[in-house]
């Protein structure tokens, strides 16, 4: 495995969380209680899987010592299955950072390039939606701004499921597309860019102060799918945090009040993550570690012409099956990035 898995430590974490659940008033905060309960369930599942693998390995080793050579051959399939389970557990043991178990916001913005880049952003949006559908994650479209001719100007998804942030955090950065543009009558090859941002969905108890005077709040007509009543009133909300120039938008709810609540929750998550990144950068300076964690860093190339190849520039993962990946089969790429970070 890529890292040491301490069963005792995991069991201690479970015991500590279960003790918290026994405290008086624990269930007064339903949202926090549900998060704790979900964390316990995930930890118990991982511990159970690790124990089963350990027992299978011990059993198979004992069998190898007593079986004849021809009987050992019949065990090959069992060993292959066991290897698959071990690989899956290897990835799960890498999802051990503080916020990995949380849901997350995924935000997409096209780069310069007009219609071509807007179309590329919409292709990425579909890729992530298909990824969620294939891997039992649910998602809500918090905000989507359509392009003038095609594609999207921006989109925000709230993705929910086990370790959503842990898996998707490696998607943060710039995604580069090379193809023959369907919008170019001369059929020339174009290069397009789109940026992806991943933010953990922190709970309402985030200890971060936001002054009312630091906010600029705009309301406007929703442009998303939500029925006529959505589009005939100023239900959509845009909040700008003036000191940091952080902007959040929400238009998926029918009422302006609910959209504002969702936007404020997203703003708190963004500002909290900014604080975490600042602390990490300061710590790296003290340690003498030079780590580039800029939002604009290019992470992956998607080449459709003159040949077909998708390559992740961090893990080195390559695949010529671009249609399959753009249809949401990106779990292998995500896992390759996780393994690279551990190494």
Fold of 104-200+296-342: Alpha-Beta Plaits (3.30.70)
Can you tell me the mean pLDDT for 83-89?
A: 65
Can you tell me the mean pLDDT for 19-35?
A: 81
- What pLDDT is recorded for position 66? 64
Q: pLDDT of 153-190, one tens digit each?
A: 999 999 999 889 999 999 999 999 999 988 888 888 88
Residue 248's SS3 state is strand
Phi-psi region of 3 (alpha: psi -120 to 50; beta: other; left: phi over 0): beta
Beta bridge partners of 154: 145
- What pLDDT is recorded for position 84? 63
Mean pLDDT is highest, among 90-99, 141-150, 270-279, for 141-150
CA distance 327 to 336: 18
Fold of 212-285: Double Stranded RNA Binding Domain (3.30.160)
- pTM value is 0.71
Q: Name which of 264, 240, 236 is nearest 250 in CA terms.
A: 236
What is the helix (H) or strand (E) element at residue 128, kind and residue range? helix 115-134
Can you tell me the mean pLDDT for 214-232?
A: 65
Instruction: Name the percent of the chain lying above pLDDT 70.
Output: 79
- What pLDDT is recorded for position 91? 67
Residue 195's SS3 state is strand
117 CB contacts (<8 Å, ≥6 apart)?
110, 111, 151, 192, 193, 194
Residue 295 in this model has a pLDDT that exceeds 70 = no
Domain spans in the chain, listed from the N-terminal domain onward: 7-94, 104-200+296-342, 212-285
């Amino acid at each position: 495995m890529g890292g040491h898995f301490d069963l005792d430590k995991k069991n201690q974490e479970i015991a500590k969380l279960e003790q918290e659940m026994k405290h008086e008033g624990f269930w007064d905060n339903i949202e926090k209680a549900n998060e704790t309960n979900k964390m316990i369930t995930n930890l118990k599942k991982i511990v159970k899987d690790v124990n089963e693998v350990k027992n299978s390995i011990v059993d198979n080793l004992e069998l190898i010592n007593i079986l004849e050579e021809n009987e050992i051959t019949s065990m090959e399939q069992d060993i292959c299955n066991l290897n698959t389970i071990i690989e899956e557990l290897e990835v799960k043991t890498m999802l051990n950072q503080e916020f990995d178990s949380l849901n997350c916001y995924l935000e997409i913005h096209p780069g310069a390039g007009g219609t071509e880049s807007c179309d590329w952003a919409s292709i990425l949006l579909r890729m992530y939606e298909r990824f969620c559908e294939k891997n039992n994650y649910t998602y809500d479209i918090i905000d989507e701004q359509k392009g003038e001719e095609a594609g999207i100007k921006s989109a925000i998804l709230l993705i929910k499921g086990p370790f959503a942030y842990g898996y998707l955090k490696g998607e943060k950065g710039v995604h580069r597309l090379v193809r023959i543009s369907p919008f170019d009558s001369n059929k020339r090859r174009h290069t397009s860019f789109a940026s992806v941002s991943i933010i953990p969905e922190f709970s309402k108890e985030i200890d971060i102060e936001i002054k009312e005077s630091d906010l600029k709040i705009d309301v406007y007509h929703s442009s998303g799918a939500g029925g006529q009543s959505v589009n005939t009133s100023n239900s959509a909300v845009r909040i700008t945090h003036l000191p940091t120039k952080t902007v959040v938008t929400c238009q998926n709810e029918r009422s302006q009040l609910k959209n504002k609540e969702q936007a404020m929750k997203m703003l708190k998550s963004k500002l909290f993550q900014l604080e975490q990144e600042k602390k990490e950068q300061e710590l790296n300076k003290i340690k003498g570690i030079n780590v580039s964690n800029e939002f604009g860093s290019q992470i992956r190339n998607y080449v459709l012409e003159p040949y077909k190849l998708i390559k992740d520039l961090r893990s080195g993962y390559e695949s010529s099956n671009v249609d399959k990946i753009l249809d949401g089969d990106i779990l292998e790429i995500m896992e390759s990035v996780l393994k690279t970070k551990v190494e």
